[in-house]
Amino acid sequence: MEWRDEGIILGTRKHGETSAILEVMTRAHGRHLGLVRGGRSRKQQPVLQPGNRVDLLWRARLDEHLGTFQAEAIEMNAARLMDSAVAVYGLQTMAAHLRLLPERDAHRGLYETLAVMIAHLDDADAAGELVARFELLVLDELGFGLDLSQCAATGTRQDLAYVSPKSGRAVSRAAGAPWRDKMLALPAFLQRGSGLRADPAAIDDAFRLTGFFLTRHVYEPRGIEPPGARAGFLAALRKHYAGGKAIAGETAVGEAIR
């Protein structure tokens, strides 16, 4: 068995004295693992860093085997990303979300989105928006996508302000007013075609929204905790937005669920 594909490195772990297990998100073969012989050498280590885009050759005797990778650098992003705590935690958060998907299932949209995000993840002003949108995309790929296109009650596409915690559908400000205390806020920047940028309060609302549905549909049913990198990412954003409203963390998500 053999294939060649392009991939973005999510992580590595040691294997034996000189080798490494490489985890990548590929365009056509999904999230995939493989052994890199000599992966801990001085020559290979700079290439096998999270965030780098690589050309991959995978070989195995049988399809279900771990197999081996040969990786050549296409785009060296790791050094740039490592200079930013927001970027490091953001990449780790997205990698954790990708691990929620079945291994080796192709998700081309997620791959392309990840590639675009890595190009801008070291821009802390944009990173919060990017990762929040990525979490919405992961929910959609897992089959729990939110409908933010129109009001669930009236069908209008104007002045959408809330998301129903029961249905995951958008609700207009007027229709949701009687139940606003029970609704999740819908930040305007998440609405398709809005062209709006997010302030710290909108970022706060966005992560409370995605965190609520990730917890309900993914973490609790699987009996797992939210990734620690997500809390680190939110903390890094807090530091970036020093003096602004705190970004919603796990406590805020828990309050929304209750």
What residue type is assigned to position 63 of the chain? Answer: D
Do residue 90 and residue 202 come from a single domain?
Answer: yes
Do residue 32 and residue 87 come from a single domain?
Answer: no
- Alpha-carbon span 167 to 182, nearest angstrom: 13
Do residue 6 and residue 57 come from a single domain?
Answer: yes
Do residue 6 and residue 133 come from a single domain?
Answer: no
Tokens representing 111? 């791959």
For the stretch 5-53, pLDDT in tens is 999 999 999 999 999 999 999 999 999 999 999 999 999 999 999 999 9
**Does the residue 162 lie in any domain?**
no
Q: Average pLDDT of the chain?
A: 91
**Does the residue 178 lie in any domain?**
no
Do residue 95 and residue 200 come from a single domain?
Answer: yes
**Does the residue 168 lie in any domain?**
no
Residue 60 has pLDDT above 60, yes or no: yes
For residues 193-213, one letter each, b for 16 or more C-beta atoms within 10 angstroms of the residue's C-beta and e for the rest, the string is: eeeeebebebbbbbbbbbbbb
Do residue 65 and residue 128 come from a single domain?
Answer: no
Q: What is the CATH number of the domain that holds 42?
A: 2.40.50.140
Do residue 99 and residue 144 come from a single domain?
Answer: yes
Do residue 144 and residue 220 come from a single domain?
Answer: yes
Residue where a domain terminates, one of 76, 95, 124: 76
**Does the residue 173 lie in any domain?**
no
Residue 256: per-residue pLDDT: 35
Q: What ranges make up the beta strands (E) of 76-197?
A: 160-163, 170-172, 184-185
Q: What ranges make up the beta strands (E) of 76-198?
A: 160-163, 170-172, 184-185
- Alpha-carbon span 130 to 120, nearest angstrom: 8
For the stretch 87-101, pLDDT in tens is 999 999 999 999 999
Residue 253 has pLDDT above 50, yes or no: no
Do residue 62 and residue 104 come from a single domain?
Answer: no
**Burial of 221 from C-beta contacts in 10 A (0-12 / 13-18 / 19+):** exposed
Residue where a domain terminates, one of 59, 76, 93: 76
For the stretch 170-216, pLDDT in tens is 999 999 999 999 999 999 999 876 677 889 999 999 999 999 999 99
Do residue 114 and residue 140 come from a single domain?
Answer: yes
Do residue 102 and residue 193 come from a single domain?
Answer: yes
- What's the total number of domains in the chain? 2
Residue where a domain terminates, one of 12, 41, 76: 76
What residue type is assigned to position 94 of the chain? Answer: M
**Does the residue 110 lie in any domain?**
yes
**Does the residue 167 lie in any domain?**
no
| 35: containing domain | 2-76
Do residue 15 and residue 143 come from a single domain?
Answer: no
